[in-house]
């Protein structure tokens, strides 16, 4: 594969093995090959400060933030409580502040969670004095030990589940602490797979193994059906998709505030996979 140079961090990715199949097959593949603690291998190549201070660049990388922003802007609930799982340096909060709400940033209550203590410390330092943003060390599998059920209006988790085992358990944990909207960002493919990849830092020679998985619309719809949820999929540039689970259905969204208007705004981009009312 080609070398990757991004924000002065040069790395090389080599695909060691690829598995194709349904959700059960891919979970088995990860379990068989996962001989290290997955939590110790997940990190961003970019430094925390750059990700936090340039939210407009983040939008170019993570197009789903625009979809999240539209949902926040059209909500009638004030403040909207948001849980960001895999928050890193808190760049989602900064994107909302600088791009989405601007002088109305007090209209949200933001809780960031990340498995990396380094990231949480830096996020807390960079947001020192921000009364409506807080940060905690944790991960998607410990959420119910950290928060009560239905704690947050919106639960957001971007590009985290593509690396993890036990996808349905992870999604269930996100849903359980959500009052209505559970918003994940994953890669959707017609031929779902899971790749075992070796990442090499070209400057230090350090290597790590990680997994990168994709999901089919059918897989996601089946999870939604088992949970009796409405699911919407919005495709983004680069192959990623915003996958939005609604616990209360489209009819309830009208009473929930302006979220139905957000759906209308995004309507041409939506793929209505499954609807439970």
Q: What confidence tens digit (pLDDT) does each residue in 231-252 have?
A: 999 988 777 999 999 876 444 4
At residue 199, the pLDDT reads 85
The Cα-based distances of 64 to 72, 90, 255 in angstroms read 13, 16, 24
Q: What confidence tens digit (pLDDT) does each residue in 8-17 have?
A: 567 888 999 9
Q: What confidence tens digit (pLDDT) does each residue in 255-271 have?
A: 344 444 555 545 544 44
At residue 142, the pLDDT reads 92
Least confident range from 30-34, 105-109, 200-204, 225-229: namely 30-34
CA dihedral for 177, 178, 184, 188, sign (positive or negative): positive
Q: Are 73 and 67 in contact (CB under 8 A)?
A: no
Burial class (CB in 10 A: 0-12, 13-18, 19+), 226: exposed
Mean pLDDT value across residues 167-172: 92
At residue 93, the pLDDT reads 93
Place of tokens 């928050």: 87
The Cα-based distances of 193 to 54, 61, 188 in angstroms read 32, 22, 10
Q: How confident is the model at residue 86 (pLDDT cuts 50, 70, 90)?
A: very high
Mean pLDDT value across residues 91-102: 90
Q: What confidence tens digit (pLDDT) does each residue in 20-62 have?
A: 998 889 888 888 876 555 544 444 444 555 555 676 777 777 7
At residue 266, the pLDDT reads 53
Residues in the chain: 277
Distance in angstroms (rounded) separating the CA atoms of residues 96 and 93? 5
> Which spans in the chain are helix H?
23-33, 48-53, 55-61, 64-73, 91-95, 117-126, 143-146, 167-176, 217-226, 249-256, 259-265
Q: Are 275 and 252 in contact (CB under 8 A)?
A: no
3-274 classified as CATH 2.40.50.1070: no
Q: How confident is the model at residue 192 (pLDDT cuts 50, 70, 90)?
A: very high
- The reported pTM is 0.84
- Tell me how crowded residue 129 is: count the other CB atoms within 10 A of its CB: 5
- Does residue 7 have a pLDDT over 70? no
Q: How confident is the model at residue 274 (pLDDT cuts 50, 70, 90)?
A: very low
Helix (H) or strand (E) holding 28: helix 23-33
At residue 187, the pLDDT reads 93
Q: How confident is the model at residue 254 (pLDDT cuts 50, 70, 90)?
A: very low
Mean pLDDT value across residues 269-274: 42
- Does residue 146 have a pLDDT over 90? yes
Mean pLDDT value across residues 76-104: 89
């Amino acid at each position: 594969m080609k070398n990757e140079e991004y924000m002065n961090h040069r790395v090389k990715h080599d695909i060691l093995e690829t598995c194709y199949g349904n959700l059960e097959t891919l979970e088995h593949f990860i379990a068989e090959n996962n001989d290290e603690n997955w939590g110790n291998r997940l990190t961003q190549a970019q430094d925390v400060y750059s990700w936090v201070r340039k939210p407009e660049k983040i939008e170019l990388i993570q197009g789903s933030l625009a979809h999240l922003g539209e949902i926040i802007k059209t909500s009638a609930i004030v403040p909207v409580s948001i849980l960001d799982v895999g928050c890193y340096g808190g760049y989602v909060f900064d994107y909302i502040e600088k791009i989405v709400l601007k002088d109305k940033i007090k209209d949200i209550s933001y809780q960031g969670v990340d498995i990396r203590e380094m990231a949480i410390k830096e996020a807390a330092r960079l947001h020192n004095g921000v009364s409506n943003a807080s940060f905690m060390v944790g991960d998607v599998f410990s959420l119910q030990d950290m928060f009560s059920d239905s704690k947050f209006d919106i639960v957001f988790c971007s590009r985290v589940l593509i690396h993890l085992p036990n996808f349905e358990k992870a999604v269930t944990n996100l849903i359980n602490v959500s009052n209505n909207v559970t918003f994940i960002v994953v890669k959707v493919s017609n031929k779902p797979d899971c790749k075992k990849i070796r990442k090499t830092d070209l400057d230090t020679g350090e290597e790590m193994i990680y997994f990168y998985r994709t999901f089919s619309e059918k897989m996601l719809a089946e999870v939604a059906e088992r949970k009796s949820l409405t699911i919407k999929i919005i495709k983004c540039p680069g192959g990623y998709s915003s996958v939005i689970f609604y616990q209360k259905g489209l009819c309830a969204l009208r009473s929930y505030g302006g979220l139905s208007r957000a759906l209308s705004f995004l309507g041409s981009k939506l793929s209505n996979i499954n609807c439970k009312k």
